[in-house]
Amino acid sequence: MEEKKDNGTTKGLLILIVVFFMIIAGMVGFGLSGYSEFNILQSPDTGVSDKSNTDEEKPVKINEDKGDKEEHQDRKENVKLPKTETDSKLAAVRTSDLSDVVEKVMPSLVAITTEGEESIVSWFGEQTRKTQDMGSGVIVDKDQRSLYIITNNHVIDGARKLVVAFEDGSTAKGEVKGTAAYTDLALVEVKLDSLAKKTLDRIKVAELGDSNGIKVGQMVMAIGNALGYGQSLTVGYVSAKDRVVNINDITMKLIQTDAAINPGNSGGALLNLNGEVVGINSAKFSDRAVEGMGYAIPMATVKPLINELKTKKNITDTERGYLGIYYREIDDASHEAFNMPYGLYITDVADNGGAKKAGLIKGDIIVAVNDNETLKSDTINSIILGKKKGEKVKVTFCRYENGEYVKKDVNVTLAERPKTNN
């Protein structure tokens, strides 16, 4: 009987010991799980830990009472999550709606309608008929008397009558202030007294951007009077910068874009997403047989010409200044074979010209005059023809030094033209 009693007591003790250890294990497990939760929340890898706090961090025990719950909630609210793709996705959503940018720039854009005449030969002999063309323009300047609008030269070339239409639907007569056929640009003037007050209150001078700062792959917008239907928008990307294009003996460095540029878009604006004009669209340089290749004249070329054309005057041959150089154009073969920059290679310098006095020598290559790129002779001829003797012009040239061409600037005072024996 005693053995059975002892056995029963022994079994009872064993059961109590097992239950006791199970309770202890449960309590330890609970404590460990709570400690693990705290360390996960506090782990520096999640970006939660405050690196600016120099005090030694003390473990915080998380209990189920109200005060500790509030402290735990505060710690969660201070968690700084790592950056995700959310920002870029929001940017993509933002650029998908460009209506605010378009609304901002529309008062700076105009439609241009020109009327001219052309001669045609038929079975009935030579006849004259009226022609009409349409294009676009950008308001780039304003003074107390006039608005000044940049457009393409081919838009206004040969026009006898020129009508400018503004965003509010009003129209006014325009006059050609100056042209630069070598860059396919022209400046149109509209007198302020020909505009209604509501139009004057609405129109704005465009914000001119930096075309040198644009990047291939950057989104751009083209706005213009496409096909004469009124202002419309196309969107694309910058496909290439400084694309050398030659058409009708005009060689230029242009911005290439896949934004559609159609007839009527000529003279309109190529804009960045800030609404700044980075180029002037030109359908003249676009090939209709190729899709997704539009071109715009960069603002780096346009800006210097605005003031040049604005102040351009007709002067007589005796008043005209004299640069005094002989030159030849750098062709593709010379550019590729000798790494010569495109421009005008000086073959000789006249003794009585302004160039020699300014230090230009044989072998220098003129690449710009008054910040206008000089890739063809038409450029320099057009600029000098509008300058009087005694006026200064800024000449940018490249000189071969130590195995490479170094770009330099010099101010040249134009001399008096030498008399010719007739």
Q: Six-digit token pair at 390?
A: 């005694």
Cβ atoms 367, 341 nearer than 8 A:
yes
Among 108, 266, 282, 382, the one annotated catalytic: 266
Distance of CA 68 to the CA centre of its chain: 57
- First-to-last alpha carbon distance for the chain, in angstroms, is 155
Cα(49)–Cα(43) distance, rounded to whole angstroms?
7
Cα(91)–Cα(86) distance, rounded to whole angstroms?
9
Cα(277)–Cα(160) distance, rounded to whole angstroms?
29
CB atoms within 10 A of CB 330: 18
Verify whether residue 266 is a known catalytic residue: yes
Verify whether residue 193 is a known catalytic residue: no
Among 108, 133, 136, 154, the one annotated catalytic: 154
Verify whether residue 154 is a known catalytic residue: yes
Q: Six-digit token pair at 293?
A: 């290749």
Cα(229)–Cα(204) distance, rounded to whole angstroms?
22
Q: Nearest Cα to 272, choosing from 236, 226, 304? A: 236
Among 108, 184, 211, 282, the one annotated catalytic: 184
Query: 3-state SS of 335-376?
Result: HHHHCCCCCEEEEEECCCCHHHHHCCCCCCEEEEECCEECCC
Residues known to be catalytic: 154, 184, 266
